[in-house]
Amino acid sequence: MLDKFNREINYARISITDACNLRCLYCMPNGYIAKHYNFLTVDEIKNIVTALAHLGVKRIRVTGGEPLVRQDILDIIGTINEVDGIEDIGITTNGILLGDKIFDLVENGLKRVNISLDSLKEDRFKKLTGGDLKRVLDGLNKALELGLVVKVNMIPIKDINDDEIVDFIEMTKNMNIDVRFIELMPIGEATRFTGVTKDDIMKYLEGANIVKIENNGGGPSEVYRLDGHIGRVGFITTMSHSFCSRCNRVRITSDGKLKTCLHNPDEYDLRPYIDDVDRLLEVLKMGIYNKYEKHTLLEDKISKSSRDMVRTGG
C-alpha cells in the first residue's frame, strides 16, 4: 500500500512486550514496570499481521522490550509464518536468551536476527546493561551457524563506549554480519547522553578502501563494504541525515496501537477492531495513508513521541 507521499509501506515492526531482562543505561537503567494493560495475544497478532499482509506488508520484525522473554514466542513466530503474503520474519533482541531458543525459532520460521550490542568488553557490558556478554556472543555465533541474516546494532555514545568503534568495525573482517552504528535518539533516558554521528565514525574509515552498497533492500541504513572484510558496516542516521523520504515501515505497539512514525505522537487504537476484519483494515488503511511525511528531530532535537522507546518497540 502507498501512503499519501507515494511511499510503499511493506514492512511492519510488532512489539510483543515492554518487559526486558536488561537494564541498559540509556533506556531503562532503573527498570520498568509495565502499564496496566495486556500485551497482544497470539490470536490478536495473527489478525493484525493478516490484515497488514492484505495491505501489502511482506516483512515482519518482532520487537520489544525483549521479545524472547515472552513464553509463547515460538507460537508467535510460527503463527506469523503461517500468514499468506509474509515472506520474511526477523526479530530484534538483546541476545541474552537467543542461544537457548535459536534452533526452535528457526524451526518456526525465523530468518533474520538483529542483536543489540553496545560493548565487546565484558566488564563494560555488565555495567552498561546488567547482562552477560558471553551469552550474547553465543547466541550470535549460533545464529550464524544456522545461516540466519545477522545484524549487530551498536549505539555509540560519547565517553561511554565510543572508544570501541574500531573494534566493532573489525568484527566485520571475519564474520558475515552487518555492524550498524545507530545514532542515539533523544527519547526518555537517552536525552541524558550525547551520541556519535555517522560523520564522526566515517573518520575512522579514512584511508580505507570502502564501497557503498547502493541496493540495500529499501532499508533505512547506509551500508558499506570494506576491502578484505566478509561483513559490512552500516549507519542509521536518524539525527544527522534524515531518511524519512524512503521510510517503508509502520509499528504496532505491544498494547495494540498503530504508530506510523517513531517520533511523532499520533497513534491508532487497533484493539477495538481486531476481531472485525473490515474495520481493522479500514483503520490500518487510514493510518498508513496518513503516515507523517517526516519527523522533526533535526530541527527540534527531541522526539515528539508520547512513549519511551521501550513502550514503542525497537
- 3-class SS string, the chain: CECCCCCECCEEEEECCCCCCCCCCCCCCCCCCCCCCCCCCHHHHHHHHHHHHHCCCCEEEEECCCHHHCCCHHHHHHHHHCCCCCCEEEEEECCCCHHHHHHHHHHCCCCEEEEECCCCCHHHHHHHHCCCHHHHHHHHHHHHHCCCEEEEEECCECCCCHHHHHHHHHHHHHCCCEEEEECCCCCHHHHHCCECCHHHHHHHHCCCCEEEECCCCCCCCEEEEECCCCCEEEEECCCCCCCHHHCCEEEECCCCEEECCCCCCCCEECHHHCCCHHHHHHHHHHHHHCCCCCCCHHHHCCCCCCCCHHHCCC
In this prediction, residue 244 carries a pLDDT of: 75
Average pLDDT over residues 252-262: 90
Q: Does the annotation list 234 as a binding residue?
A: no
The letter for the amino acid at 6 is N
Mind listing the pLDDT tens digit for each residue in 34-92?
555 689 999 999 999 999 999 999 999 999 989 999 999 999 999 999 999 999 999 99
In this prediction, residue 191 carries a pLDDT of: 81
Q: Does the annotation list 26 as a binding residue?
A: yes
Mind listing the pLDDT tens digit for each residue in 91-133?
999 999 999 999 999 999 999 999 999 999 999 999 999 999 9
Domain 11-311 has CATH 3.20.20.70: yes
In this prediction, residue 287 carries a pLDDT of: 95
Q: Does the annotation list 257 as a binding residue?
A: no
Per-residue confidence band for 308, with pLDDT thresholds at 50, 70 and 90: low
Per-residue confidence band for 220, with pLDDT thresholds at 50, 70 and 90: confident
Of the chain, the percentage scoring pLDDT greater than 70 comes to 87
Residue 298 has pLDDT above 80, yes or no: no
d(CA 245, CA 145): 36
d(CA 250, CA 167): 33
Q: What is the mean pLDDT of the chain?
A: 89
Contact 232, 213 (CB under 8 A): yes
In this prediction, residue 190 carries a pLDDT of: 82
Q: Does the annotation list 27 as a binding residue?
A: yes
Give the number of other Cβ atoms within 10 Å of residue 174's Cβ: 11
Q: Does the annotation list 277 as a binding residue?
A: no
Q: In terms of residues, how long is the chain?
A: 314
48, β-bridge pairs = none
d(CA 178, CA 68): 21
Average pLDDT over residues 249-271: 88
Q: Does the annotation list 70 as a binding residue?
A: no
Contact 56, 1 (CB under 8 A): yes
Q: Does the annotation list 135 as a binding residue?
A: no
In this prediction, residue 187 carries a pLDDT of: 74
d(CA 56, CA 273): 19
* pTM for this prediction: 0.91
Q: Does the annotation list 250 as a binding residue?
A: yes
Q: Does the annotation list 149 as a binding residue?
A: no
Residue 309 has pLDDT above 60, yes or no: no
Q: Does the annotation list 251 as a binding residue?
A: yes
Domain boundaries, given as residue ranges, for the chain: 11-311
d(CA 267, CA 251): 10
Q: Does the annotation list 61 as a binding residue?
A: yes
Cα-Cα-Cα-Cα dihedral sign, residues 140, 141, 145, 151? positive
Q: Does the annotation list 31 as a binding residue?
A: no
d(CA 291, CA 258): 10
Cα-based distances in Å from 130 to 16, 23, 32, 126: 22, 6, 14, 5
